[in-house]
């Protein structure tokens, strides 16, 4: 079950965190994975790890916020493979702030990566995917479903991701394209460690435990756990699922009273 043999998968943001975990597990399950990331060093390292594990992967440096860059990368990929079966829009950035202290530059930066980045990839890939069907999975967040303090711009962008997911699922259902999104709670990624080190020096362990306990289950998710859900939703076993937003949040949305 959940094999992806002979399938091509594009993973944006595949150089670190959840994207890295997805790229590795998809390759393990037989997919030909294209790792797209702005960070060349991290992206190439993931590809090297996949190849060392006898998987098939290629790195493509890409700024998802640039439509020209995305179009060029997809064009290059289609020189190497005949079809794109799976698109995973994982690339994204976070921001701390409310409506008052979020400045215009930060607001525009989040829109450019988290919203326009998803649009650019959808715009480039869907015309090719229409020929034989495929699966699209977008990365949303629990922030798109519930209010989280000081996540104004981030919440806005992830709400847009859910909206794009529903729209694409509706528009392309008859072209055999499925589109879903995942809404994780807090996930233990390098971003979390960097955030704690920057904002709470000397109190990293204490704050990590505090953030972990905001999930009713009592801990953060591991990137691999989110990747496992992504694998299911992109596999043939999930062929009846489209237009859905899947929370993977340790009970955060439903059980936090």
Give catalytic residues, as residue numbers. Answer: 154
Length of the chain: 257
Cα separation, 7 vs 82, whole angstroms: 10
Cα separation, 66 vs 59, whole angstroms: 18
Cα separation, 197 vs 205, whole angstroms: 10
Closest by alpha carbon to 123, among 111, 132, 136, 133?
136
* Start-end of H helices in the chain: 17-28, 40-52, 67-80, 104-110, 116-129, 152-171, 190-199, 204-212, 223-234, 252-255
């Amino acid at each position: 079950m959940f094999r992806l043999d002979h399938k091509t998968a594009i993973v944006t943001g595949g150089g670190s965190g959840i994207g890295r975990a997805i790229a590795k597990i998809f390759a393990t399950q037989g997919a030909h994975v294209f790792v797209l990331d702005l960070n060349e060093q991290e992206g190439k390292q993931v590809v090297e790890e996949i190849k060392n594990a006898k998987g098939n992967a290629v790195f493509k440096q890409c700024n998802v916020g640039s439509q020209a860059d995305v179009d060029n990368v997809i064009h290059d990929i289609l020189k190497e493979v005949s079809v794109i079966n799976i698109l995973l829009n994982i690339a994204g950035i976070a921001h701390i702030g409310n409506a008052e202290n979020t400045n215009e530059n930060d607001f525009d930066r989040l829109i450019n990566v988290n919203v326009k980045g998803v649009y650019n990839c959808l715009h480039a890939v869907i015309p090719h995917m229409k020929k034989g069907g495929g699966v699209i999975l977008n990365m949303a967040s629990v922030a798109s479903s519930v209010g989280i303090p000081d996540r104004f711009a981030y919440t806005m962008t992830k709400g847009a991701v859910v909206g794009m997911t529903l729209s694409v699922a509706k528009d392309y259902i008859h072209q055999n394209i499925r589109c879903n999104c995942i809404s994780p709670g807090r996930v233990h990624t390098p971003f979390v460690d960097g955030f704690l080190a920057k904002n709470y020096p000397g109190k990293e362990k204490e704050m990590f435990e505090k953030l972990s306990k905001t999930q009713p289950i009592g801990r953060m998710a591991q990137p691999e756990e989110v990747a496992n859900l992504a694998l299911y939703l992109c596999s043939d076993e999930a062929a009846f699922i489209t237009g859905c937003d899947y929370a993977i949040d340790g009970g955060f949305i439903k059980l936090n009273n």
